[in-house]
Structure 1
Amino acid sequence: MSKSVVDKYFPELTVSLTILLFVVSLFTMKPVVFPFFAAIASAYITFPIFQFFLRLFKNRQIAAVLTVVVILLSILGLILVILPTLVKQIQGFVDYLPVLMARIDFYFKKYLGKKLFAGKLSPENVRSVFSLIYKNFSVSNSATMAAVVQKIFSGVFSIASIVINIVVIPLLSYYVLVDWENLRELYLKLIPRDYRVETAVLIDRVNDSLSGYIRGQLLMAFLVAVYFSITLTAAGIKYSFLIAVVAGIMNMIPYVGFFTGFVPSILLAVFDNGDLFHIVAVLLIFLSEAALENVIYPMVMSKTTGINPLLIFFAIFFGATYGSFLGIVVAVPVVAMILPVFDSFMFKKEGKL
C-alpha cells in the first residue's frame, strides 16, 4: 500500500483499528474491560439527562452525580417494581402453558384429526422443562443461579463481579460523563497533527451514530413495551405484561419484536378467550402498532443511524456464533460505529471528499 493511500485514508484506518482493538480487548479481557464498556453504554444512554442537569446547574460534576443517581434509582425501580411483576407473570405462564397446549390440541384433534403436541411435546413434558428452567433461575437457589449466570455470560457476570460492578460501573459512568471531552482530546493528541481535524470529525460522526442508535432503539423498545402492555391488558389478554416486555426487548431486532408479541397474543385470544372480539382486538392492536412504529421510528432514529435489517441480522448471528451472549449485545452497536467509517471511506474513494 503506497504512502499516499495511507495518508488519504489515515483517519478511517485509525478509527477502525481503535474499534477493532476495543472489541478484541472486550472479548479477551472481559472482566477488566466489561465495566468500562458498561459505563460507556450507560453514559451514552443517559447523556440527554446529563445535558439537562448541566444546563440547569452549569457544573459537570453536579450533573454527572445527579445522572448517576438517576441510573441507580432506575435500577432500584427495575428490581423492586418491574422484576417482581415479571417473575410472577412468568410463573403464571409456566403454570398455564399445559392448559393452553391442551386446548390447542383439542381444536387440532377436532378439526384436523390429530394432536399438535402429541408424544414428546406433551403439555406435561413442556411444563416440566419450564419448571426446571424457572427453578434454576430462582433466587432461592443461589448455587444453581451462580452456575447458570456464570455459564451464560462466560464469567462476565459471576456473582462476585455483579456485586463489584454495581459499585464500579456507576463510578466509571460518572468519570466518563465528566471527562468525555478530555478523553476525546487525549485520543486526538495521539494522532499526528496533520490528521487531527479530519479524525475529530470522523469521531464525532461515529459518536452520533452510536449514541443515536442506542438511545433510539431503547426508546422504541420502551414505547413498544408500554403500548402492548396497556392495549393487551385493556383487551383482556393474559400475561400482557410479560408479552409486552419480551416484545419490547426483541423489537431491537427488525420484525422479531412484532411476531414475538403477536404469536402468543393471538394464540391466547383464540384458545383462551375464544371469541371474535378478542381476536379482532389483538389484530387491531398489532396492526396499529406497526402503523404507529412506521411513523414514530423515523422521528426517534435519525436517518444517519438507519441500519439495513439484513445487516442487523447478520451482525447478531455473527456475534452469537463467535461471541456468545456478549457478542449479541455488542454486534449491532459495533456496526453502528463502523458504518460512518465505511461511508467516509466510500466518499473519499468516489472523490466526494
Structure 2
Amino acid sequence: MSQDVGAQAEIARFLQQLKWIVLALVALWMVGLLAPILTPFVLGALLGWMGDPLVDRLERAGRSRNVAVTLVFGLMTLLLVLALLILVPMLERQVRTLVETLPEYREWFVDTAVPWLEARTGLELSVWLDPERAVNWVREHWQQAGGVATSVAGYISRSGFAMVAWVVNLVLLPILTFYFLRDWDLLVERVAALVPRDHLDTVTRLARESNDVLGAFLRGQFVVMIALGAIYAIGLQLSGLKLGLLIGLIAGLISFIPYLGATTGIVLAVVAALVQAQGFDTRLLVLVGVVFTVGQLLESYVLTPRIVGDKIGLHPVAVIFAVMAGGQLFGFLGMLIALPAAAVINVLLRYAAERYRQSGLYMGAQPTPAIVLEPFAAERATTVEATPQPPLHKGPEA
C-alpha cells in the first residue's frame, strides 16, 4: 500500500514539473512572437532597475518617492543629452572623413589586399571585381536576380514600417522608464506576494544572488564599456589615426563580448592605418598595438576586477554562445537579454548543483565510511599503543 502511495506521489510530482515546463515553453513562444514590441519594455525595465537603488537612497535621505524618481530620471536624461551633444558632432566628423576616404579604401583593397591574398592562396579574386563580369553574371542569372530584387523591394517596404516602429519605441522608452522607476518597489512586492510561502526563503536567496550578478554585469560592465571606448578612442586619436575616435568607440561598445571588442578594434585600426599611410607605417602600427595592449591590461587588472568583480562567473565561450543564441532566437531583444538571462541561469545552475550534492543520489544510501589509515600508518599506531609509555616526570615527591 505504501509503495502505491509513493508511486502516486512521484507521478503527481512529475505532472506538476511537466506543467511548469509547458508553461515555460509557452512563455518563450510568446516572447518570440512579441519580440518587436517588447524591446522598449525590456529596456525601460532595465533602466528602471538600474536607477532604483539611487531612488531608494534618496528616499532614505528624506525625499518622497515621486521627488526621488524625478531627480533620478532627470539625471539620466541629462547624462544622455550631454553624451549626445559631445559625441554626435565628433562622430559626424569621423563619418564624413570615412566617406571622403572610401575611394582610398577601395583602391587599397583592389591594388594591395586582393593581390596579396591571391599570391598566398592561389585564388583568382580580381576577376570577380570586374564590372563587365558582374553584368554578364547578372544577365545569365536574371531570373534569380529578379527574385532577389523583389525580395529587396519587399525588405525596403518592410523597413519603412520598421523605422516607424523604432521611432515609436524611442518615444515610448522614456515614458516606460519613468513608470518603472516610480513603481519598481511595488512590482517587486507584488511578485513576492505570489511566491508560495514554503519556497519564499529559497526564492528570496536566489533573487538576491541574481540581483548581485545582474548588478555586477549591467552596472559594472556598462562602466567598463564606456571606459574602454574612451581609452581606445583617445589613444587612437592621439596616435594620429584619422578614424581613431570611431574605431575606438566601436571597439569599446562591443567589448561586453570577451575578446571581440579588442579583436574588431585591432583589425579595423590596422586596416585604417594601412590605408591612411598607403603602406606600412611602422610607427603608426606600433602605436595602435600599444593602445590596445594598454586597454586590455587596464581591463584585465584594473577595470573588471574593481568594477565588475567575479560575481558573474560566466566563461567567455558561454558569453559568446548566449549572445549568438539570443540573437538567433529572439533577434535584437534576444541579444539584449542574453547575458542577463545567462547570469541568472548560472545562479540557478549553481543552486541546482548545491542541491544535487546534498541529495541521496550524490551522497548514496550507505553512511559515509570511516577514514582508514594507510597500512603502515595503522601498524605504527598499533605498535605505539602496545608499547608501555614511561610515566611523565613530575619532579621529586614532596
What's the TM-score, normalizing by structure 1?
0.77
Q: Report the Cα distance in structure 1 between the residues aligned to 2:319 and 2:129, rounded to whole angstroms.
A: 33
Asked whether the 8 Å contact 2:236–2:288 carries over to 1, the reply is yes
Counterpart in 2 of 1:40?
Answer: 45
Q: Report the Cα distance in structure 2 between the residues aligned to 1:340 and 1:268, rounded to whole angstroms.
A: 42
Letter in 2 for 1:72: T
Counterpart in 1 of 2:159?
Answer: 148
Q: Deviations over 1:9-43 (max 9, x none)?
A: x99x98x9998776544332346543331211112
Instruction: Determine if the alignment matches structure 1 residue 192 to structure 2 residue 196.
Output: yes
Instruction: Determine if the alignment matches structure 1 residue 279 to structure 2 residue 285.
Output: yes
**Structure 1 residue 108: Cα displacement:** 5.5
Counterpart in 1 of 2:244?
Answer: 240
Counterpart in 1 of 2:88?
Answer: 83
Classify 1:76/1:347 alpha carbon distance in 2 versus 1 (closer, same or farther; 3 Å).
Answer: same
Counterpart in 2 of 1:72?
Answer: 77
Q: Report the Cα distance in structure 1 between the residues aligned to 2:40 and 2:76, rounded to whole angstroms.
A: 15
Tell me which structure has the larger Cα radius of gyration: 2
Q: Deviations over 1:78-111 (max 9, x none)?
A: 4444234324423421331330342355455897
Which residues of 2 match residues 206-217 of structure 1 at below 5 A? 206-217=210-221
Q: Report the Cα distance in structure 2 between the residues aligned to 1:194 and 1:308, rounded to whole angstroms.
A: 34
Letter in 1 for 2:337: V
Which residues of 2 match residues 306-321 of structure 1 at below 5 A? 306-321=313-328
Q: Report the Cα distance in structure 2 between the residues aligned to 1:72 and 1:344, rounded to whole angstroms.
A: 38
Q: Report the Cα distance in structure 2 between the residues aligned to 1:214 and 1:19, rounded to whole angstroms.
A: 25
Counterpart in 1 of 2:233?
Answer: 229
**Structure 1 residue 230: Cα displacement:** 0.8
Classify 1:332/1:108 alpha carbon distance in 2 versus 1 (closer, same or farther; 3 Å).
Answer: closer
Asked whether the 8 Å contact 2:255–2:261 carries over to 1, the reply is yes
Counterpart in 1 of 2:255?
Answer: 251
**Structure 1 residue 69: Cα displacement:** 1.5
Classify 1:348/1:108 alpha carbon distance in 2 versus 1 (closer, same or farther; 3 Å).
Answer: closer
Q: Secondary structure at the match of 1:89?
A: helix
Classify 1:279/1:44 alpha carbon distance in 2 versus 1 (closer, same or farther; 3 Å).
Answer: same
Asked whether the 8 Å contact 1:25–1:33 carries over to 2, the reply is no
Q: Deviations over 1:273-315 (max 9, x none)?
A: 3432212111111111111111121222132213111111111
Q: Deviations over 1:251-279 (max 9, x none)?
A: 11111100111112122333423432212
Asked whether the 8 Å contact 1:64–1:177 carries over to 2, the reply is yes
Q: Report the Cα distance in structure 2 between the residues aligned to 1:211 and 1:246, rounded to whole angstroms.
A: 24
Which residues of 2 match residues 330-349 of structure 1 at below 5 A? 330-349=337-356
How large is the RMSD of aligned CA atoms in angstroms? 3.6
Q: 91, 96, 99: which is aligned to 1:94?
A: 99
Q: Secondary structure at the match of 1:300?
A: helix
Classify 1:327/1:80 alpha carbon distance in 2 versus 1 (closer, same or farther; 3 Å).
Answer: same
Q: Report the Cα distance in structure 1 between the residues aligned to 2:298 and 2:8, rounded to whole angstroms.
A: 51
Q: Deviations over 1:164-186 (max 9, x none)?
A: x4454333323323332322221
Counterpart in 2 of 1:182?
Answer: 186
Asked whether the 8 Å contact 1:209–1:337 carries over to 2, the reply is yes
What's the TM-score, normalizing by structure 2?
0.69
Report the count of equivalent residues.
321
**Structure 1 residue 112: Cα displacement:** 8.1
Q: Deviations over 1:189-222 (max 9, x none)?
A: 2122111122112112222222321122211110
Classify 1:56/1:93 alpha carbon distance in 2 versus 1 (closer, same or farther; 3 Å).
Answer: farther
Q: Report the Cα distance in structure 1 between the residues aligned to 2:257 and 2:53, rounded to whole angstroms.
A: 24
Which residues of 2 match residues 99-114 of structure 1 at below 5 A? 99-103=104-108, 105-107=110-112
Contiguous gaps of at least 5 residues in structure 1: 124-143
Q: Report the Cα distance in structure 2 between the residues aligned to 1:47 and 1:109, rounded to whole angstroms.
A: 54
**Structure 1 residue 46: Cα displacement:** 3.2
Q: Secondary structure at the match of 1:209?
A: helix
Q: Secondary structure at the match of 1:237?
A: coil
